[in-house]
């Protein structure tokens, strides 16, 4: 995150303020809901609602601090994620309800609709989250066509990113991904990081079944991947066993040479400053007459690729914000050029494609974005 907003929200002070604000808003929303129930049905539920809010806050904090592969932990992650999404949308709809109520009171000189509007806001938030859960599991194919290098031969790359296998996403989602990818008949499949939801790989209890699905991918030149900030360390034995079973070639700070281009894999941002090699050092011994395609999890690194005159950079990481209104915050944090989609950078030579992600992270909801498979039809 390079924008001023991005630097601000990545600081420790902001995180503390965010936690305090989230707790206050949580209890505020329960107070408003309790007041609406009292207005409509003359039932006082303040204490049960406050206790419920406190329990959900504790649950959300617990699943962030401690990882497990137990069924209760997985249920806790799902439940706390749904609750956070409900809270976000209830507060948004509540703000709309307050505006409508103020206008109504001004025009009709009455305050009788406030409780009904708050109840409607609660119902609308529930419907929005239900839609978001159902929509998150659906896949959309996004297509881009362009020329790379001399642009003589047709070549199709299918780009996947941010699958986040683990607590919530499992073999069923991967089966849908494989079926959609195979219909595209790609020459190559690439994965730009965050294959897993957490460095604690044990929380992904279906790794063998997911690996079996990966084996079903039909390509001419294979499946290639890099790691992202949520993936286990490259030296993790369980990760390497999975990569082998899945038939994936992990390109970690290295260059894979093909007849028509080079494929360069960058180590995920979690290793930045430790094992991550500069792109300049990776490219120093190659024939620069052939196109260079770079896989890099974080789109902020497109800057370096443009300086090194790479031809194409494929990234993920942002999820396009995953769901509104975090779509706006993510765009502000990353800057519009490093947020989502296809564009040409810097020197006019470097093309970049930033995926919204083929899966989703922790909060099992997508609103205003899609779980997407990116199909790149290139002349190369």
Beta strand pairing call for 254-257 and 262-265? antiparallel
Which tops the pLDDT comparison, 15 or 146?
Answer: 146
Terminal Cα-to-Cα distance of the chain (whole angstroms): 32
Tokens of 360: 């989703």
Tokens of 324: 């509104």
Of 3.60.21.10, 3.40.50.620, 3.30.2030.30, 3.40.1380.20, the CATH number of 139-379 is: 3.60.21.10
Q: How does the average pLDDT of the chain come out, rounded?
A: 91
Q: What is the pLDDT of residues 10-41, one digit of tens each?
A: 666 767 887 898 899 999 999 999 999 998 89
- For the chain, give every residue range classified as CATH 3.60.21.10: 139-379
pLDDT at 1: 47
- Which residues does 179 contact at the CB level (< 8 Å), separation at least 6? none
Q: Are 170 and 312 in contact (CB under 8 A)?
A: no
Strand positions, DSSP E, the chain: 139-147, 154-160, 188-192, 223-226, 248-250, 254-257, 262-265, 292-295, 312-315, 341-345, 350-354, 371-379
For residues 154-160, give the mean pLDDT. Answer: 97
For residue 258, the 8-state DSSP code is -
Report the C-alpha gap between 304 and 293 in whole angstroms. 13
Q: Are 40 and 115 in contact (CB under 8 A)?
A: yes
Give me the residue label for tokens 């703000």: 95
Q: Are 335 and 297 in contact (CB under 8 A)?
A: no
The answer to whether the Cα torsion of 191, 197, 198, 202 is positive or negative is: negative
Torsion angle, alpha carbons of 189, 191, 196, 202, to 10 = 50
Q: What is the pLDDT of residues 174-210, one digit of tens each?
A: 999 999 999 999 999 999 999 999 988 999 989 999 9
Share of the chain above pLDDT 70, in %: 93
For residue 289, pLDDT beyond 60: yes
Give me the residue label for tokens 């950079």: 313
């Amino acid at each position: 995150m390079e924008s001023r907003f991005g630097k601000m929200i990545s600081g420790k002070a902001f995180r503390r303020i965010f936690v305090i604000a989230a707790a206050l808003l949580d209890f505020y929303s329960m107070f408003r809901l309790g007041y609406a129930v009292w207005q409509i049905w003359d039932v006082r539920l303040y204490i049960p609602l406050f206790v419920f809010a406190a329990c959900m806050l504790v649950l959300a904090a617990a699943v962030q601090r401690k990882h497990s592969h137990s069924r209760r932990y997985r249920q806790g992650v799902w439940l706390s994620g749904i609750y956070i999404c409900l809270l976000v949308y209830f507060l948004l709809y509540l703000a709309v309800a307050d505006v409508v109520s103020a206008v109504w009171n001004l025009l009709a000189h009455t305050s009788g609709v406030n409780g009904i509007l708050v109840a409607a806001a609660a119902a609308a938030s529930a419907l929005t989250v239900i839609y978001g859960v159902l929509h998150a599991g659906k896949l959309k194919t996004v297509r881009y066509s362009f020329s790379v290098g001399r642009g003589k031969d047709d070549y199709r790359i299918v780009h996947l990113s941010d699958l986040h296998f683990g607590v919530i996403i499992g073999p069923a989602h991967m089966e849908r991904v494989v079926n959609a990818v195979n219909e595209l008949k790609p020459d190559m499949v690439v994965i730009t990081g965050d294959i897993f939801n957490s460095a604690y790989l044990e929380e992904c209890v279906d790794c063998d079944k997911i690996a079996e699905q990966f084996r079903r991918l039909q390509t001419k030149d294979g499946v290639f991947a890099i790691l992202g900030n949520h993936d286990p360390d490259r030296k993790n034995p369980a990760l390497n066993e999975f990569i082998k079973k899945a038939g994936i070639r992990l390109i970690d700070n290295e260059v894979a040479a093909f007849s028509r281009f080079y494929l360069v894999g960058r180590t995920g941002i979690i290793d930045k400053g430790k094992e991550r090699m500069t792109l300049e050092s990776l490219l120093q011994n190659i024939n620069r007459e052939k196109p260079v395609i770079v896989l890099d999890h974080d789109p902020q690194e497109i800057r370096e690729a443009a300086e090194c005159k790479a031809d194409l950079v494929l990234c993920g990481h942002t999820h396009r914000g995953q769901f509104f209104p975090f779509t706006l915050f993510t765009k502000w944090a990353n800057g519009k050029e490093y947020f989502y989609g296809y564009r040409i950078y810097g020197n006019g030579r470097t093309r970049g494609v930033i995926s919204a992600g083929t899966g989703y992270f922790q909060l099992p909801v997508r609103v205003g974005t899609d779980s997407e498979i990116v199909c790149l039809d290139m002349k190369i």
